[in-house]
A and B are shown apart, each in its own frame.
Chain A
Amino acid sequence: MIELKGITKEYLSGIISKHKKTVVSDVSFSIKKGETLGIVGESGCGKTTLGRIALRLTEPTLGEIWFDGVEITALSKSSMRKMRPRMQIIFQDPDTALDPRMTIRDSIAEPFKIWERSGRHETNEKVLEMLDIVGLQPDLISRYPFELSGGQKQRVALARALALDPEFIVADEPTSALDLSVQAQVLSLFQGIREKKGITLLFISHDLQVIRNMADCIAVMKEGVILEIQRTSDLFASPGHPYTRQLIDAEIEGEAWFGKGI
């Protein structure tokens, strides 16, 4: 479904003498249709940049991106725009992802309006349908983001991402701002919808346990490089890289209390 080949991203800084900083270095992976690839790594490892590159929201310095048999890195702006509704992103912080001056209705209706998928009455119905899918009460429709809790806002962001029936979604730490029980709610909801619609997912997180629950395959990233990619169960059974081992050990140590006698 989606394939990245030899993706490298460099940033130049400095006015007189240019410093080159490589954020993502020669990354290749592919995700099969309907599968989830998790990317795990510490902050600053380049995982967010990689997620944006996969949707061509950030241009890679080198490398190719293939989406459903098309090389999207070679597409012109207007043909790329035509591909946009098929791919979506859910951001880390629901507070900055939603426009504070737009009602929930307007936020969810915006993709329909931009793509002229429906008339006004239809739009309203579609917004209500989307709210229902993500488990929100219809009376939230005329509220503003500040009136909603973190979990509700992330559900709205999810509804907006799902509005145009995308085939591919990048979720960048979608629940790191949420509480334990709300995180469980949002993730199990998301997982259910994803399975039903057969959406291909790139799931980015620093929480190995969360990724373990969400992903078929896991890529471990550090300092812009993918250290290894394995099926989820294989990664936990036999991590190939010492850094993965370190992550899993820290996780096990942190969870040692868990499951004793429950």
Chain B
Amino acid sequence: MQLLEITGLQVSFIKDREIIHVIDSVNLTLEAHESCALVGESGCGKTVLGMAVMRLLPSNAQIEGSIRYRETNLLELNSHDMLQILGKEIGMIPQNSAMVLNPVMTIGRQITESLVLHEGISSKTADEKAIYLLKRMDIPDPHYALSQYPHEFSGGMRERILIAIVLACEPTLIIADEPTAGLDILVRKQTIELLMEHSRDKTFLLITHDLGTAHELCSRIVVMYAGEIVESGNTREVLSMPMHPYTQGLLTSHPSAGLHPIPGMSPNPGSFPEGCRFYTRCSSVQDLCTKEHPSLKETGKMRKVRCLRYD
């Protein structure tokens, strides 16, 4: 069953009377209970995509296409109906735990807020549930933690508190944006294990630039570059046999491969090159690449790539 279906999504921002396209014709479908990773470097549009699904983009954003969750097109909902879905049906673990938690609100209030709103339970029952959630997230002395403030916790603990907040109302779909960024290796390992355990019966969209995390948590991977999908497929297959030159470059940039970078810089939104958007940095560029914009072609089971070499 398809849980989330994004069709022809186009996001542009209006800045100084100029229209800047950030995401171009993205199609992405998530089956129920599927885990999918969305990878790419900063500025490629992956966070904007997550925010678009949550309808959290600022008012100068223009969104075209459709984002279908079950039977509903989220883009057509009014804010009251959207609130019924946020947190309850779709939960988001946002980027940067230090900025996201409210610094002047206790952890307890922040976890129980959505429980009281969506489930209509008493604050006492909600507190009990919060303690249970914190316990599952390995937060020491969860009873006391309810009355503590975010600054009293380490980065890894704050990330786990965020996960607890999102899990509180047991959403069907979880969108996690860089949940492991800035964490030390051992803390990162613990966070991934917790996410793995608790996302098992959920549909999971992971937004990250960490290929290792993507591999550990997701069966499918979608690679984005300059606002569009350039490659997708089974995670293991894509990472072991990358087809798009950009995916190949990402892998050789990895410290384990000896830090061999892709030359040049990714283009800024608004100044994407004509033809293939990657051609200025591509080592196997041909004449045609500078003129013709490649389409996303199916090359095998579940496998798609946007490169003229595979036409």
Contact = CB atoms under 8 A, between A and B. Distances in A.
Interface in B149-196: 154-155, 182, 184-189
B1 interface: no
A213 B216 contact: no
A258 B209 contact: no
Interface in A216-258: 246-247, 250-251, 253-255, 257-258
Given A150-B42, A257-B236, A183 B265 contact: no
Nearest to B262: A181
A179 B256 contact: no
A171 B302 CA distance: 43
Contacts of A181: 41, 249-250, 253, 261-262
Contact of A259 (B189, B253, B256, B259): B256
A179 B255 CA distance: 12
B274 to A, nearest CB: 21
A151 interface: yes
Interface stretch (A61-69, A111-119, A204-212): A204-212
Contact of A183 (B182, B187, B242, B259): B259
A257 B219 CA distance: 12
B265 A209 contact: no
B41 A254 contact: no
A176 interface: yes
B184 A206 contact: yes
B212 interface: yes
B33 interface: no
Contacts of B42: 149-150, 179
In this complex, the member of A176, A187, A209 whose beta carbon has the largest number of chain B beta carbons within 10 angstroms is A209
Secondary structure type dominating chain A contacts: helix
A165 interface: no
A253 B189 CA distance: 9
What class of interface size applies to chain A in its complex with B?
35 or more
Prevailing SS type, chain B contact patch: helix
Interface string A182-195: 11110110000000
A254 B212 contact: yes
B260 interface: yes
A255 to B, nearest CB: 5
Contacts of B188: 254
A58 B80 CA distance: 54
Contacts of A247: 185-186
B254 A180 contact: yes
Contacts of A207: 185, 255
B186 A42 contact: yes
B194 to A, nearest CB: 15
A207 to B, nearest CB: 7
Contact of B251 (A179, A209, A254, A262): A262
B259 A187 contact: yes
B240 A261 contact: yes
B303 interface: no
A260 interface: yes
22 contacts: A43-B155, A44-B154, A179-B209, A180-B41, A180-B209, A181-B262, A184-B262, A208-B185, A209-B254, A212-B255, A213-B255, A247-B186, A250-B186, A250-B189, A251-B185, A254-B189, A255-B256, A258-B256, A259-B257, A260-B239, A262-B240, A262-B241
Interface of A: 42-44, 149-152, 176, 179-185, 187-188, 206-210, 212-213, 246-247, 250-251, 253-255, 257-262
